[in-house]
Amino acid sequence: MTDQVELRKKRAGEKAVEWIEDGMTIGLGSGSTVYWTIKKLGELVNKGMKIKGVPSSIRTEGWANQFGVPLTDFQQGTELDLAIDGADEVDPSFHLIKGGGGSLVREKIVNAASKNLIIVVDESKVVSNLGEFGVPIEVVPFGWEVTERRISQMGCRSIQLRKSENEIYVSNNGNYILDCHFGYIENAMNLHAQLKQVVGVVETGLFIGMTDHVIVGKDNGVQVLRK
Ligand SMILES: O=C(CO)[C@H](O)[C@H](O)COP(=O)(O)O
């Protein structure tokens, strides 16, 4: 990653803390942009801000511990005031593709439990149509090849079992991820609904109608997009 891309991510990630208020419980998303949010949040906590975070991945939990952001259990009754998360693609309706980092299921659970969702991205993630990145789909390992075949019959141009260093990538939930390319997606809500009908699919990386604001890190500053 170039220094310029990293700077854009830093700008977007840090800006998001402006929405955080004392006493809030915050959903902490995953990825290298949210890293900057968590780092900045740690500085605010060190200065006396009282918040609690709910991490959406083991990696995020590690960053929260590293920067001194207090965490709370995500259990029945936990209400989130705000969630801050990254994305792989954001379209003009604020629909998202997520899951590039493999944390889509926990991210979706955390984001869905929050009153507000802010997405932090560098400007390369803002697209006019979702699809080029591909759709990560988390599937149960048992019978995954059968699930893969069903998905590939749904107009998928290419489908790949995610690997990491030549080993099958296993999510924080013990599942596999299929990276599926459908070309440009005309109706993300329909595609998501169809994929969810396939037995073996746990969740898709299509996040529809969840986002309130998008913070875009640019070369010359930061832009806040509101619905
Ligand atoms: O969805 C995600 C992980 O599952 C990430 O939020 C997404 O991949 C963006 O990551 P980054 O900020 O590193 O570009």
Indicate whether 8 and 116 sit together in one domain: yes
61 classed as catalytic: no
**What average pLDDT is seen over the chain?**
97
- The predicted model gives 78-92 an average pLDDT of 96
> Does a structural domain hold residue 130?
no
User: By C-alpha distance, which of 78, 79, 61 is closest to 70?
Assistant: 61
DSSP code at position 71 = B
C-alpha span between 25 and 21 (Å, rounded): 9
User: What pLDDT score was predicted for residue 114?
Assistant: 97
User: What is the extent of the structural domain holding 41?
Assistant: 3-124+208-218
User: What pLDDT score was predicted for residue 61?
Assistant: 97
User: By C-alpha distance, which of 76, 85, 74, 19 is closest to 52?
Assistant: 74
Indicate whether 101 and 50 sit together in one domain: yes
Please report which helix (H) or strand (E) contains residue 53, including its range: strand 52-55
C-alpha span between 52 and 70 (Å, rounded): 5
Indicate whether 22 and 112 sit together in one domain: yes
pLDDT band at 75 (very low <50, low <70, confident <90, very high): confident
Q: In angstroms, what is the span from residue 36 Cα to ligand 1's centroid?
A: 12
Indicate whether 65 and 160 sit together in one domain: no
Q: What is the number of domains present in the chain? A: 2
Asked whether the beta carbons of 14 and 224 are under 8 A apart, the reply is no
Asked whether the beta carbons of 88 and 99 are under 8 A apart, the reply is yes
Indicate whether 76 and 185 sit together in one domain: no
- The predicted model gives 67-86 an average pLDDT of 92
C-alpha span between 114 and 82 (Å, rounded): 5
Tokens of 88: 């792989």
Domain of 167: which CATH number? Answer: 3.30.70.260
Catalytic residue among 61, 107, 138, 203: 107
> Does a structural domain hold residue 227?
no
User: What pLDDT score was predicted for residue 172?
Assistant: 95
85 annotated among ligand-binding-site residues: yes
Mean pLDDT lowest among 8-17, 73-82, 166-175: 73-82
Indicate whether 16 and 104 sit together in one domain: yes
pTM above 0.90, yes or no: yes
Ligand 1 atom showing the smallest separation from residue 33 Cα: 12
- Coil, helix or strand at residue 44: helix
Cα radius of gyration rounded to whole Å, the chain:
17
Ligand 1 proximity of 86 Cβ (cutoff 6 Å): yes
pLDDT per residue over 25-68, tens digit each?
A: 999 999 999 999 999 999 999 999 999 999 999 999 999 999 99
Ligand 1 proximity of 31 Cβ (cutoff 6 Å): yes
Tokens of 58: 């083991």
Ligand 1 proximity of 114 Cβ (cutoff 6 Å): no
Ligand 1 proximity of 88 Cβ (cutoff 6 Å): yes
Ligand 1 atom showing the smallest separation from residue 85 Cα: 6
C-alpha span between 86 and 78 (Å, rounded): 22
User: What pLDDT score was predicted for residue 74?
Assistant: 86
Indicate whether 49 and 143 sit together in one domain: no
Q: Does the interface ipTM go beyond 0.90?
A: yes
Indicate whether 78 and 109 sit together in one domain: yes
Indicate whether 14 and 90 sit together in one domain: yes
Cα dihedral sign, 154-176-102-161:
negative
The angle that helices 34-46 and 58-67 make with each other, rounded to 10 degrees, is 30
pLDDT band at 77 (very low <50, low <70, confident <90, very high): confident
pLDDT band at 227 (very low <50, low <70, confident <90, very high): confident
155 annotated among ligand-binding-site residues: no
C-alpha span between 189 and 209 (Å, rounded): 9
> Does a structural domain hold residue 146?
yes
Tokens of 118: 């802010």
Please choose from 5, 98, 172, 173 the residue to mutate so as to test ligand 1's pocket, defined by most ligand atoms within 8 A of CB.
Answer: 98
pLDDT per residue over 138-183, tens digit each?
A: 999 999 999 999 999 998 999 999 999 999 999 999 999 999 999 9
